[in-house]
């Protein structure tokens, strides 16, 4: 979307304001279907940093998520520009990748369709 959907921006702002990670959402971005729960950006960044810190090879990258210039973020008076998913999967056929869920950051302006709720596939 060239103009971000105002409802999606409002949902993201509410997640940021309420500091909640219980909002389930499914989006279509570049033809990919991503489903999971939204998290506030600060919580999402800290969780990604934790995962990186635990890695021998990727540990130095954790600082990118916790330190340095933070730019305009929700709370700075600016509307959110990204959705921060945790426990998220990219749906492909009958599979959700990764099976356990991952951490995804999606630009709101790139979302072409969305629905409230977490979709799951089953071959049963």
3-state secondary structure 12-24: HHHHHHHCCCCCE
Whether 96 contacts 89, CB under 8 Å: yes
Whether 39 contacts 84, CB under 8 Å: yes
* pTM of the complete model: 0.84
Structure tokens at 21: 């990670």
What pLDDT, in 10s, does the model give residues 5-45? 999 999 999 999 987 788 999 999 999 999 999 999 999 99
From the centroid of its chain, how far is CA 39?
7
What pLDDT, in 10s, does the model give residues 73-98? 445 568 999 999 998 999 987 778 88
pLDDT of residue 97: 84
């Amino acid at each position: 979307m060239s103009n971000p959907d105002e409802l999606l921006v409002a949902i993201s702002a509410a997640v940021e304001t309420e500091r909640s990670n219980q909002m389930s959402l499914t989006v279509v971005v570049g033809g990919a279907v991503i489903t999971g729960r939204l998290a506030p950006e600060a919580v999402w960044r800290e969780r990604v940093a934790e995962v990186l810190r635990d890695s021998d090879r990727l540990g130095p990258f954790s600082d990118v998520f916790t330190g340095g210039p933070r730019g305009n973020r929700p709370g700075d008076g600016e509307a959110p520009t990204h959705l921060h998913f945790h426990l998220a999967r990219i749906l492909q056929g009958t599979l959700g990748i990764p099976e356990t869920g991952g951490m995804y950051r999606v630009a709101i302006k790139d979302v072409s369709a969305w629905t409230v709720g977490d979709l799951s596939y089953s071959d049963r």
